[in-house]
Amino acid sequence: MSLQIQTNVSLKPFNTFGVDVRARLFAEAHTDADIRQALAYAAEHKVELLVIGGGSNLLLTGDVDALVLRMTSRGIRIVHEDCDTAIVEAEAGEPWHPFVQETLARGMSGLENLSLIPGTVGAAPMQNIGAYGVELKDVFDSLIALDRQTGETREFSLIECAFGYRDSVFKHQVDRWLILRVRFRLSFSAKLKLDYGPVRQRLQEQGIKTPTPIHVSRAICSIRSEKLPDPAMLGNAGSFFKNPLVTAELAARIREAHPGVVAYPQADGQVKLAAGWLIEQAGWKGFRDGDAGVHALQSLVLVNYGAASGLDLLRLAKRIQADILERFGVSLEMEPNLY
């Protein structure tokens, strides 16, 4: 068997919170064959298989009694190209931000607003990653996934993925589907989206009057770098809570009491509230309890100042959830997967 399985491995280097827990078994999958061997090993030895990518959307609350399989497959290829469009396929283990930069370097646009998001290509469709007015579904073509129950591969179209706000069919069927590679439909003629957040303002500050996709990517990288801590320096998983969707009636009541509330009306009549604004108004920004805390510059981000456990961070998250529910009547949902 080519798959190298290790025992009692620390997962601290493999989760961006830097939580120091141990995996009973650990392996890295460079190829589809490695994945199949891991599935066979897990079935034969009756152990759970936990698949991880960059560990950037994961909160580990204790040692992992499973075979942890880290996706490390690499490869970027163009599967179709015409005068205006390219369909680009990337292996699941490709780091997300370098992949985005590679497409921009090849003159393709579409992914620039998703720059500097941590994680891997294979994990991106699971929660339909999004930022600055663009979601993965907006540039998605299809993906190939392995059925963990039958061993067969299947191609998923956009509709079949059932993408929603930070959601997909794969997020609800983690034990069924394992994403192998993803295809994106990108354009050689830029259709820039600049009106969400401070993107246009940042471009103006930089003196850029006719921006290119690369300009947009750089602007977003600078904004994110100012707002979000580098996991290599301060453990975190990016935005910890989803922006909640509430009824128009509840949004109106909150606005009456708090005229400055940040809210975005939705096509279905609901209103999306900025979770970070709610948390900041409740006084949690910069809060610290031991080594678990809320980032001083971005209240959506929970951080590990060094030795916080996953349970420490989870307890803090639950305190914030309870407080926001009591103050505003709004339920906050955690983004990271708990294990």
pLDDT in tens, 179-189: 999 999 999 99
Instruction: Identify whether residues 98 and 179 lie together within a single domain.
Output: yes
Instruction: Identify whether residues 300 and 322 lie together within a single domain.
Output: yes
Instruction: Tell me if residue 335 is catalytic.
Output: yes
Mean pLDDT calculated for residue range 305-330 = 98
pLDDT of residue 91 exceeding 70 = yes
pLDDT at 238: 92
pLDDT at 23: 98
Residue 43 belongs to some domain of the structure: yes
Look at the chain and count its residues.
339
Instruction: Identify whether residues 87 and 26 lie together within a single domain.
Output: no
Instruction: Identify whether residues 158 and 267 lie together within a single domain.
Output: no
pLDDT band at 227, cuts 50/70/90? confident
CATH number at residue 159: 3.30.465.10
Total of domains in the chain: 3
Residue 143 belongs to some domain of the structure: yes
Q: What is the mean pLDDT of the chain?
A: 96
Instruction: Identify whether residues 187 and 98 lie together within a single domain.
Output: yes
Instruction: Identify whether residues 132 and 54 lie together within a single domain.
Output: no
Domain limit, last residue, from 71, 97, 112: 71
pLDDT of residue 306 exceeding 80 = yes
pLDDT at 124: 97
Mean pLDDT calculated for residue range 287-309 = 97
Range of the domain at 199: 76-226
Instruction: Identify whether residues 183 and 46 lie together within a single domain.
Output: no
Residue among 166, 181, 202, 218 flagged as catalytic: 166
pLDDT band at 196, cuts 50/70/90? confident
Instruction: Identify whether residues 222 and 235 lie together within a single domain.
Output: no
pLDDT of residue 289 exceeding 70 = yes
pLDDT band at 1, cuts 50/70/90? low
Residue 194 belongs to some domain of the structure: yes
Instruction: Identify whether residues 193 and 250 lie together within a single domain.
Output: no
Instruction: Tell me if residue 77 is catalytic.
Output: no
d(CA 38, CA 16): 24
CATH number at residue 299: 3.90.78.10
Mean pLDDT calculated for residue range 1-22 = 95
Instruction: Identify whether residues 32 and 172 lie together within a single domain.
Output: no
CATH number at residue 64: 3.30.43.10
Long-range CB contact pairs, 253-258, < 8 A, 24+: 253/329, 254/328, 254/329, 254/330
Mean pLDDT calculated for residue range 221-238 = 93
Instruction: Tell me if residue 315 is catalytic.
Output: no
pLDDT at 104: 98
Going 121 to 124 to 125 to 130, the CA torsion angle's sign is: negative
Domain limit, last residue, from 183, 205, 226: 226
pLDDT at 247: 97
pLDDT of residue 197 exceeding 90 = no
Rg (CA), the chain: 20
Structural contact between residues 168 and 65, judged by C-beta atoms closer than 8 angstroms: no
- Residue (of 180, 156, 154, 169) closest to 38 by Cα position: 180
Dihedral angle over CA of 181, 25, 176, 88, nearest 10: -10
Mean pLDDT calculated for residue range 253-282 = 95
Residue among 89, 91, 135, 335 flagged as catalytic: 335
Mean pLDDT calculated for residue range 213-233 = 94
Domain limit, last residue, from 16, 47, 71: 71
pLDDT band at 103, cuts 50/70/90? very high
Instruction: Identify whether residues 81 and 215 lie together within a single domain.
Output: yes
Residue 1 belongs to some domain of the structure: no
Residue 33 belongs to some domain of the structure: yes
Task: Report DSSP letters for 143-187, one per residue.
Answer: EEEEETTT--EEEEEHHHHT-BTTB-HHHH-TTTEEEEEEEEEEE
pLDDT at 49: 97
Residue among 142, 239, 299, 309 flagged as catalytic: 239
Structural contact between residues 310 and 301, judged by C-beta atoms closer than 8 angstroms: no
